[in-house]
């Protein structure tokens, strides 16, 4: 979207889609709106008639890198358009348990024996954040080895109704259901870089309305140009951060830490291909997976009714 200047990686969901006749204005995807401009607000509120902001960032992420929740709402309020704009936060796109599973599945036995003592030492010596030798460094190594595919698995691979679900909740199905509700559209769906959590959500939205698989992959891969693997920001958490937040991130991780997370850069097409393959292998089809998480045929029909110009039921 060339008209949006201050929000990175902003575009309509499914801009490249031809297999299904989508009403493109229903969903916009982007990175953090922390640098939103008055001109951006004009486009979003006046031209696109934005109704809902869907924020996928975690509470911890905002605590570390600056809480800008409500910034777009406040801009819109000054603009005179906040009365019809809703803000929805979904901080549990990756549950704590799934994040720990991601780390654990990529740890060697030696690292498993080291990370607990380092974590205990961190309480006393504050070495937890040591990138070189503390448990933070070991955890980042594990996350980096898991790569984007491991990160995405931590988002989608979940069993609703489990004891964990009762304790911690889970936001993926809630996001999809909100997006399927016509009165909440148009929606701006964003995380920090607009490619990982946002990428998974948008891929599932497209799959729900039977968009061709190649086009689902292409929609995701469009972020690869905006957030390339050789991006100067060594980790996408700081992709759209303000200068103060980015400085804090750089200080916390340092060069070694940023290098460990290098595999999480970019949006390679083969990663989305592999994610879709994994979902189909485990659940039989993308629609069966959506049934599994609670976004069933009834909800998919609601989404088609509002998003597809000529719904193919």
Catalytic residues: 191
Residue 297 C-beta-side C-alpha neighbours within 13 Å: 2
Distance CA 113, CA 211 (A): 46
Distance CA 261, CA 148 (A): 10
Q: What's the length of the chain? A: 313
């Amino acid at each position: 979207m060339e008209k949006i200047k201050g929000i990175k990686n902003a575009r309509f969901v499914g801009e490249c889609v031809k297999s299904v006749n989508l009403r493109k204005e229903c969903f916009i995807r982007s990175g953090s709106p922390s640098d939103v401009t008055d001109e951006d607000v004009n486009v979003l509120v006046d031209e696109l008639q934005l109704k809902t902001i869907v924020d996928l960032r975690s509470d911890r992420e905002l605590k570390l890198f600056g809480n800008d929740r409500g910034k777009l709402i406040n801009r819109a309020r000054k603009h005179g358009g906040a009365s019809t704009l809703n803000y929805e936060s979904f901080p549990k796109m990756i549950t704590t348990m799934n994040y720990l599973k991601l780390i654990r599945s990529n740890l060697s036995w030696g690292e498993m024996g080291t990370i607990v003592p380092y974590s205990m030492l961190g309480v006393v010596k504050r070495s937890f954040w040591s990138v070189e030798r503390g448990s933070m460094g070991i955890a980042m190594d594990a996350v980096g080895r898991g790569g984007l595919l491991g990160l995405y698995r931590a988002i989608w691979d979940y069993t609703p109704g489990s004891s964990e679900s009762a304790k911690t909740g889970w936001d993926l199905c809630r996001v999809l259901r909100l997006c399927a509700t016509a009165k909440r559209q148009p929606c701006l769906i964003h995380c920090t870089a607009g490619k990982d959590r946002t990428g998974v959500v948008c891929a599932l939205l497209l799959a729900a309305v039977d968009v061709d698989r190649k086009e689902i992959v292409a929609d995701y891969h469009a972020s690869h140009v905006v957030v390339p693997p050789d991006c100067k920001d060594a980790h996408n958490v700081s992709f759209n951060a303000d200068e103060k937040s980015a400085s804090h991130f750089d200080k916390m991780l340092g060069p070694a830490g940023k290098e460990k997370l290098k595999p999480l850069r970019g949006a390679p097409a083969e990663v989305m291909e592999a994610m879709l393959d994994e979902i189909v292998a485990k659940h039989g089809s993308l629609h069966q997976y959506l049934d599994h998480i609670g976004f069933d045929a009834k909800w998919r029909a609601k989404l088609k009714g509002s998003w597809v110009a000529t719904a193919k039921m």
